[in-house]
Amino acid sequence: MPAGQRYWVEEGILGNQITNVDTNNDGKMDHYCFAIINKFLHAKHPLGWIRNVTLKIDGQTIRNDKAYFVLRGQWISLKHMPTVTDIWWNLVEKAEIYVEKEDGLEQGRHAVECNLELSLHENTRTVDVKDAWQRLDMNISSEMEVF
């Protein structure tokens, strides 16, 4: 049980770059994405350990069925992430968050805010699918540039 009140090392969790992506190769951008790195003190958990993700871009909340957590090529909507019990996110492993957006995000700087609700259930092989444990709010943000 670590001392203190923070469960993560904040520096470097979010990068500073957003990339527009043409995921279906039809010549038009349809998503944008940015990286997120696992820097939790006890790092290895199934994705469902993160009980909820709220994502805001430039102050606007993104619908959780229009954004995806992509880990080792596996796309999981933020809406369904709490159901994932057997895909582990490893220590300092990079994942990406993809957001659906026709033509991608406009060039320039954008404010990215993520709120992750972490379960205080202490078992890295089981997920609190009953939502019986308290959650720890993790708020992280970054100014990102579209490239």
Partner 1 sequence: MKTIGVNLWSLMPMTFNFQKPDYELYKAVADMGSEYIDFIEDYMPCHPHPDLAEIGSVKARVKEYGLKIGQIWFYTDILGGAYLTSKQHMVNQLQEFLYIAREMDARFMCIPLILNSPGKSMEEGYSPYVDMLTQVLPLAEKLDIPITIEYARPGLPQMALKMAKEVRSKYLTLTPDFEAWRIATEDIPLVHVESQSSVSGPEPIELFYEALPYSRNIHAKLLAFDEHGEEPHFPIAGLMNAINESDDDHHLCIEYEGWIPDINPQLDCVTETRKCVDLLKRYLI
Query: Contact residues for partner 1 (CB under 8 A)?
Result: 1-12, 39, 41-44, 46, 86, 88, 90-92, 120-130, 132-134, 136
Measure the N-to-C terminal CA separation of the chain; round to a whole number of Å.
41
> Shortest distance, CB of residue 60 to partner 1, whole angstroms?
29
Q: Which of 13, 88, 9, 16 is nearest to 41 (CA)?
A: 9
> Shortest distance, CB of residue 9 to partner 1, whole angstroms?
5
What does the CA dihedral 72, 74, 79, 84 come to, rounded to 10 degrees? -80
Report the distance separating Cα 34 and Cα 112, nearest Å.
10
Return the number of other C-beta atoms located less than 10 Å from residue 51's C-beta. Answer: 20
Q: Which of 96, 80, 79, 109 is nearest to 14 (CA)?
A: 96
> Shortest distance, CB of residue 27 to partner 1, whole angstroms?
36
Question: Is the CB of 91 or the CB of 111 nearer to partner 1?
Answer: 91
Question: Is the CB of 9 or the CB of 111 nearer to partner 1?
Answer: 9
Question: Is the CB of 132 or the CB of 147 nearer to partner 1?
Answer: 132
Kindly tell me the burial class for residue 69, based on how many C-beta atoms sit within 10 Å of its own C-beta (0-12, 13-18, 19 or more). buried
> Shortest distance, CB of residue 54 to partner 1, whole angstroms?
20
Question: Is the CB of 101 or the CB of 121 nearer to partner 1?
Answer: 121
Question: Is the CB of 26 or the CB of 122 nearer to partner 1?
Answer: 122
> Shortest distance, CB of residue 10 to partner 1, whole angstroms?
7
